[in-house]
Each structure stands twice: as structure tokens, then as C-alpha cells.
Amino acid sequence: MFMFDIETLGVDSNAVILSFACIYFDPDSNPTYKELKESAFFVKLNAKDQIERLGRKVDRDTVNWWAKQCDNVKIKSLKPSPNDVSPERAIGMLREWADSKNDKKCYVWARGNLDELLYRALEFQITGNRDDTVFAYNRWRDVRTAVDFLTGSNNGYCKVDHPEFNSEIDVTKHDPVDDCALDIMMLIYGVKK
């Protein structure tokens, strides 16, 4: 299975995508949070290029929201860096990484449908082909619904029962790698209410 998370400058399908992360995992292998994070794919995209060349949009409310986030996540996803890549390169890197897992039919989990919507819109804008996608539309699943169903939660979150995990210490919210790893931990080790 894959877990996917995206960071953006808006919530519409044409919003600038700042970064995305993906983790491939086998729920039967009992991974640790550290192992999940170490195996993650992460890429940061060039926001200026998306605005100028592709006409992608920035939402002021989202920019204001980013201003309130911790410096670590702003550096990781928001602040421009010379290592930021074009959307074409980012999609190519994700495709190469995902293909290396040799699992073309497994689920792709994300928190709600926004990540899929934004990623697939960017992918279509770049390729012009809805069938030329890293993850086909019918593979996507919502982790919030699964967590609620499996644990009796009603907000898409639950406690995690794993001796090497403490969400208060280990997780940096809105870091896409941490968000992916946390969602996997909740799917595998979530505690029922």
C-alpha cells in the first residue's frame, strides 16, 4: 500500500503544490514510525514556476495559515530552495519511485480527497492525458474514513498503540512525511474507543 500527503497554497484543483510525500508499506510487516519515515519519498516543487508558467493559484487564507506553522515545516515545504524541482520532474521522480515498488494495484491512501484532486489536476495539466497517471483514480482510499471505521473515532484520528511511538514527540504536523507515517501508524496500530 501507499500513503500519500501533499502540501499546497490553496484548496482548489489549480492551487500551487508545494511538496508531496509518499510511503510504501506492508501492514503485515509491523513497521515502526522511524522505519516508515526513513523509507519515505519526498519532493519539494518550485512554486514560482507553477505560478508563472502554469498559471497555478495562491490562496491568501492558505498563505496566512502557513504563516502560523512552525519554522521546520515552512522550511521543508514553503520557503523556496535551489533544490526545488519542476512539476514535470516531481511527477517523474514519484513515478520512478512508485514503479520500483512493483505493486501497480495496491491502494493509495490519503487524508480525504483533496490530495488526490490536486495531484491528479497537476498531473493532467502536465501530461494532458488522464490515463497517464502514477496512481489510477480507482486505487485511492480515504484514511480518515478507515480510521473512524476501524477505531470508532469520529474525527479521522485515534491513539496509536506502539511501544516506540509517541505522537506528542515524534510527529511534526504538516510535514508531509510525518503526516504519511502517522496515518499509517493509525491504520495499523490504531486503538479502538
CATH of the domain at 45: 3.30.420.10
Dmax over Cα atoms in the chain, in whole Å?
A: 49
Over the stretch 41-54, which tens digit does the pLDDT of each residue have? 999 999 999 999 99
Tally of structural domains, the chain? 1
Q: How far is CA 164 from CA 24, 41, 114, 122, in A?
A: 20, 22, 31, 37
Radius of gyration of the chain measured on its C-alpha atoms: 16
pLDDT category at 30 given cuts 50, 70, 90 is very high
The pLDDT, as a whole number, for residue 132 is: 86
Query: pTM score, two decimals?
Result: 0.95
| 165: pLDDT strictly greater than 90 | yes
* pLDDT of res. 110: 98
The residue that leads in pLDDT, 103 or 3, is 3
Percent of the chain with pLDDT over 70: 100
The residue-averaged pLDDT of 164-169 equals 90
pLDDT in tens, 110-156: 999 999 999 999 999 999 988 889 999 999 999 999 999 999 999 99
With CA atoms as reference, report the closest residue to 86 among 58, 117, 124, 53: 53
Q: What domain range includes position 12?
A: 2-189
